[in-house]
Amino acid sequence: MNCESPIPLSCKLSASSSVDMSTKSSLSSTITGSSSGDVSIIGKLSDGMMSDVKIHDGKVSDIAKPLGSGGGGDVATNSASRVSYGSNVSDSNESSCSSFSSNGNKPHKSNDKRWEAIQKIRMRDGALGLNHFRLLRRLGCGDIGSVYLAELRSSTCCFAMKVMDKGSLASRKKLLRAQTEREILSSLDHPFLPTLYTHFETEKFSCLVMEFCIGGDLHTLRQRQPGKHFTEQAARFYASQVLLALEYLHMLGVVYRDLKPENVLVREDGHIMLSDFDLSLRCIVSPTVVKSSSLDTDYSRRSPAYCVQPSCAEPSCVQPACVQPSCVQPSCFVPRLLSQKSKKNRKPKNEIGNQITPLPELVAEPTDARSMSFVGTHEYLAPEIIKGEGHGSAVDWWTFGIFLYELLHGKTPFKGSGNRATLFNVVGQPLKFPETSGVSFAARDLVRGLLVKDPQHRLASKRGATEIKQHPFFDGVNWALIRSATPPEIPKPLESEAPVSKVNFPLAEKQIASDDSNSSASYLDFDFF
Ligand SMILES: Nc1ncnc2c1ncn2[C@@H]1O[C@H](COP(=O)(O)OP(=O)(O)OP(=O)(O)O)[C@@H](O)[C@H]1O
């Protein structure tokens, strides 16, 4: 494997951020292809155009004046190299386009105004299409598409629309990645994960309409902090929400595999949303209650019992064929109770009655799932991925450790002079903390537990997120009420810096312009791949 191979570059762009250009460039690079095969450069930078909109509560509320100076060229920086080796994904038949008929399967979003707005259009016009949206500006672009801020016409609701060129996806063998992302997105209903409002296709494009996050990503936000790192309190806030999102994904049978600050977006209320699921691995999980009630509260005194079905065991599992779509739905889980103790060892009822009753504990995470794909971002790659040993959900706990380290220290722990050196460090170098670090013992201890190179001995590898939640670093976090916790920072409403200029549509974009015949050309800025 040549880790210094030319790599496709995909840009990331956040229009209103000030950045430290010395530490990271504005490129996020992605390696794709087989380990022996050639790879090519396919990226470009987007131009960071801004439109004149102001947004509150996912709705356009005002037309703001251009701000003039002060950041037109500000580009969110991200040099993190993204890797996707060995999946050798071949084209699959595209699933037929479908808009979701209702929000019935997303009870947590049931009173969301955006659903109502979408539903109204659907009742009036049938399926939604590109012509129902006004594209205001490009938010950024990734390896498989560009994301636009889109306003639903005849409403004031705003969305993030990911637009993917189907021809380009097919020629670059990325249809499966796009399909994976769409299927995962459609199964999510969680406060820290995106809502997919609808999906539709034009002749040329496949479009995902998602919740829009006004606050940019955590990478950009970190750059703005004093010392370019978060306080421990802020890091705890963001990490705890990410942890819950990962736990939920694992319970759905999704190993996320691409955690990094760039993929953690900030909502207008300051809470987070994990985005970008095209590198995720889906597997089948079999949740197990390892502790059913108050019978035993002390983990350290007993050997835990786990029962997770490693249904997704080999490289082929990155292919959809090995995943039953219905099995990423929570409804397919039938938790099983494992008896922890024989009856004679249990405490008598009256003793239990005097105690605070802890909640049952469920392990529903695919701790034994295995994939051989080489995916992720160099600085975040787990050793078992680099070594090609096969990996499962423990990779998310490794990346969680790197993520926490970066939030607290402003840099990742194993970064080398190049990608090859980075990978070497991840596998062979011990974890070190900056000597002058003011980070607490608890935080360092948690990072140490997560960045254990052997996944079998890594924190959370046995009982999943529960092990991490119980670490002293998270003492005081009210997991049940975390949505009500006060965020470290509330993003400012989006305002424009410069009016959108007229765009000359390249040939490839003419189609979308004609698809979107009702829209004003001045709002369009397409630039695919
Ligand atoms: N829901 C959203 N709200 C606001 N901005 C978003 C949203 N989703 C994506 N973005 C922006 O668009 C950029 C591109 O996102 P996208 O997920 O397509 O690319 P990516 O993160 O580089 O991943 P990939 O290369 O796998 O496609 C992100 O970096 C982010 O800045």
Task: Tell me the β-bridge partners of 291.
Answer: 361
Q: What pLDDT score does 9 carry?
A: 26
Averaged pLDDT for residues 134-148: 92
Distance (Å, rounded) from C-alpha 16 to C-alpha 73? 9
Going by alpha carbons, the residue nearest to atom 20 of ligand 1 is 142
Report CA(243)–ligand 1 centroid distance (Å): 20
> From the CB of 58, is ligand 1 less than 6 Å away?
no
Q: What pLDDT score does 95 carry?
A: 33
Bridge-based pairing of strands 133-141 and 146-152 is: antiparallel
- The per-residue pLDDT of the chain, averaged, comes to 68
Of 408, 293, 398, residue with least CA distance to 353: 293
Q: What pLDDT score does 96 carry?
A: 33
Going by alpha carbons, the residue nearest to atom 18 of ligand 1 is 142
> From the CB of 276, is ligand 1 less than 6 Å away?
yes
Report CA(322)–ligand 1 centroid distance (Å): 27
Going by alpha carbons, the residue nearest to atom 16 of ligand 1 is 142
Q: How many CB atoms lie within 10 A of CB 322?
A: 16
Report CA(12)–ligand 1 centroid distance (Å): 7
Averaged pLDDT for residues 49-69: 36
Residue the block writes with tokens 């990325």? 174
Report CA(260)–ligand 1 centroid distance (Å): 12
CA 366 distance to own-chain centroid: 18
> From the CB of 213, is ligand 1 less than 6 Å away?
yes
Q: What pLDDT score does 164 carry?
A: 96
Counting from 1 in the atom list of ligand 1, the atom nearest the Cα of 78 is 29
Of 135, 133, 177, 188, residue with least CA distance to 10: 177
CA 328 distance to own-chain centroid: 17
Of 134-138, 199-203, 357-361, which gets the smallest average pLDDT?
Answer: 357-361
Q: What pLDDT score does 320 carry?
A: 31
Distance (Å, rounded) from C-alpha 147 to C-alpha 163? 6
Report CA(275)–ligand 1 centroid distance (Å): 7
Distance (Å, rounded) from C-alpha 486 to C-alpha 526? 37
Q: What pLDDT score does 40 carry?
A: 24
Taking the model in full, what pTM does it have? 0.69
Report CA(287)–ligand 1 centroid distance (Å): 31
Distance (Å, rounded) from C-alpha 524 to C-alpha 518? 12
Please list, residue by residue across 350-373, b when 16 or more beta carbons sit within 10 angstroms of its beta carbon and e when fewer do: eeeeeeeeeeebbbbbbbbbbbbb
* Each residue's pLDDT tens digit, 8-35: 223 322 223 332 323 333 323 333 333 3
198-to-5, 127, 330 alpha-carbon distances in Å:
37, 9, 20
Span between the terminal Cα atoms of the chain, in Å: 26
Residues contacting 484, CB < 8 A, separation 6+: none
Of 317-326, 401-410, 468-477, which gets the smallest average pLDDT?
Answer: 317-326
Going by alpha carbons, the residue nearest to atom 24 of ligand 1 is 142
Using CB atoms within 10 A of its CB, is residue 15 exposed (0-12), middle (13-18) or buried (19+)? buried
The answer, yes or no, to whether residue 355 has pLDDT greater than 60, is no
Are the CB atoms for 29 and 8 separated by under 8 Å? yes
> From the CB of 10, is ligand 1 less than 6 Å away?
yes
Of 278-282, 381-385, 507-511, 525-529, which gets the smallest average pLDDT?
Answer: 525-529
Better pLDDT: 305 or 110: 110
Q: What pLDDT score does 438 carry?
A: 87
Best residue among 13, 87, 139 to mutate for probing ligand 1's pocket (most ligand atoms within 8 Å of CB) is 139
* Each residue's pLDDT tens digit, 282-325: 887 766 666 655 444 443 333 332 223 333 322 333 333 222 22
Q: What pLDDT score does 287 carry?
A: 61
> From the CB of 143, is ligand 1 less than 6 Å away?
yes
Going by alpha carbons, the residue nearest to atom 9 of ligand 1 is 147
Report CA(235)–ligand 1 centroid distance (Å): 22
Bridge-based pairing of strands 27-33 and 81-85 is: parallel
Q: Which strands make up the sheet holding 361-363, listed edge to edge? A: 336-337, 288-291, 361-363
368 belongs to the catalytic site: no
Distance (Å, rounded) from C-alpha 288 to C-alpha 405? 31
Q: How many CB atoms lie within 10 A of CB 504?
A: 7
The answer, yes or no, to whether residue 451 has pLDDT greater than 70, is yes
Residues contacting 466, CB < 8 A, separation 6+: 361, 363, 460
> From the CB of 267, is ligand 1 less than 6 Å away?
no
DSSP annotation of 524: -
Q: What pLDDT score does 86 carry?
A: 37
Report CA(142)–ligand 1 centroid distance (Å): 6
Q: What pLDDT score does 493 carry?
A: 77
Tokens of 144: 């498989």
Which one is catalytic: 74, 258, 276, 296? 258
Going by alpha carbons, the residue nearest to atom 13 of ligand 1 is 140
> From the CB of 277, is ligand 1 less than 6 Å away?
no
Of 48, 31, 128, residue with least CA distance to 87: 31
> From the CB of 162, is ligand 1 less than 6 Å away?
yes
Of 282, 275, 285, residue with least CA distance to 254: 282
User: Residue type at 217?
Assistant: D
Residues contacting 234, CB < 8 A, separation 6+: 225, 407, 488, 489
Best residue among 45, 147, 176, 264 to mutate for probing ligand 1's pocket (most ligand atoms within 8 Å of CB) is 147
CA atoms within 13 A on the CB side of 283: 30
> From the CB of 177, is ligand 1 less than 6 Å away?
no
The answer, yes or no, to whether residue 405 has pLDDT greater than 90, is yes
Of 209, 208, 193, residue with least CA distance to 267: 193
**Residues 164-168: contacts with CB within 8 Å, 24+ apart?**
164/205, 164/206, 164/207, 164/208, 165/204, 165/205, 165/508, 165/528, 165/529, 166/94, 166/201, 166/204, 166/205, 166/206, 167/204, 168/528, 168/529
529: confidence class by pLDDT, cuts 50, 70, 90:
very low
Averaged pLDDT for residues 346-352: 36
Going by alpha carbons, the residue nearest to atom 30 of ligand 1 is 140
Q: How many CB atoms lie within 10 A of CB 493?
A: 15
Going by alpha carbons, the residue nearest to atom 29 of ligand 1 is 12
> From the CB of 263, is ligand 1 less than 6 Å away?
yes
The answer, yes or no, to whether residue 188 has pLDDT greater than 80, is yes
Of 76-85, 99-108, 221-230, which gets the smallest average pLDDT?
Answer: 76-85
Residue the block writes with tokens 């951020």? 17
Task: Tell me the β-bridge partners of 265.
Answer: 217, 273
> From the CB of 142, is ligand 1 less than 6 Å away?
yes
pLDDT over 70 for what percent of the chain?
A: 55
* Each residue's pLDDT tens digit, 99-109: 333 444 565 66
Q: What pLDDT score does 437 carry?
A: 77
Averaged pLDDT for residues 237-251: 97
The answer, yes or no, to whether residue 169 has pLDDT greater than 70, is yes
Are the CB atoms for 379 and 326 separated by under 8 Å? no
Report CA(479)–ligand 1 centroid distance (Å): 27
